[in-house]
Amino acid sequence: MLSSVLPPVEKIPVGQHPYIIRLLKGVLNSRPPRVKLLPEWNLDKILEMLQKKPFEPMKKAELKFITWKTVFLIAITTFSSDLQALRLGDGNISVHSRGVYFIREELSKQDRPGHFGAKIFVPAFDAEKLLDPKRALTYYLKSTDNFRGENRQDSKLFLAISNPHNPISSQTISSWIVSTIQMAYNDKKKSVKAHSTRAIGPSWALYKGASMKNIMEAADWSRESTITKFYLRHIDPHVLSK
């Protein structure tokens, strides 16, 4: 990065100069990055909420809740941190009876030569229609079709909820997921079984700016329910150990 904007020093690229390398190592040692541990949240609690108003029935729901539900279900199914990079159009999406395949167009941090453009699979969940990621995606596409414009066949999958409905960033995806989780814990009509609102409530600030991967890792995946088993089955087992 430094070498691309600054001239060489002593005929050595700035980023490779021994003094600069030592300086950067010293900065890292003196001020190491802080890793935040996010409070655990109850996955089943969120899934229960997504089956009721204002998320259902989806054909009558507001765009905001359709968007939140679709993003959340795809996030916990795929565990992908690159949902903002998914696109529509030929070559980017393939619909099958058992789910939908996407090709991630943009590079991620894990990409390298010979290993990029990974497929992201959004499965159909026939056992629980109200929690079916493919169904949610279908409703989302119908709800956003009118404002995708002339280039709808090559547009980003997820767009901003408000006008002018521009493509969104990974930070927006994370904020939608956090808003969905927070909504469940702020609903006083719902009982909290495994966790209390008081326990997680003061900790919402920790979620600000957190990556989607860290947010998903904070979920309680321990309950042996049909729903939990379904979602875990579609997650790469190596992802949770990274």
Question: How much is the pLDDT for 68?
Answer: 97
Q: Answer whether 0.85 is exceeded by the pTM.
A: no
Q: Per-block average pLDDT, block size 10, for the chain (242 residues)?
A: 67 76 76 64 84 96 97 82 74 82 60 53 83 92 84 73 88 88 70 36 55 66 56 46 42
CA–CA gap between residue 119 and residue 32 (Å, rounded) = 34
Question: How much is the pLDDT for 67?
Answer: 96
- What does the domain layout of the chain look like in residue ranges? 1-33, 41-233
Helix axes 133-144, 63-78, angle to 10 degrees: 140
Q: Spelled out in words, what is the top-level CATH class assigned to the domain 41-233?
A: mainly alpha
Question: How much is the pLDDT for 64?
Answer: 97
The encoded tokens of residue 38 equal 């996010």
DSSP 87-149: B-STTTEEEETTEEEEE--S--TT-BTTB-S-EEEEE--TT-GGG-HHHHHHHHHHHHGGGS-
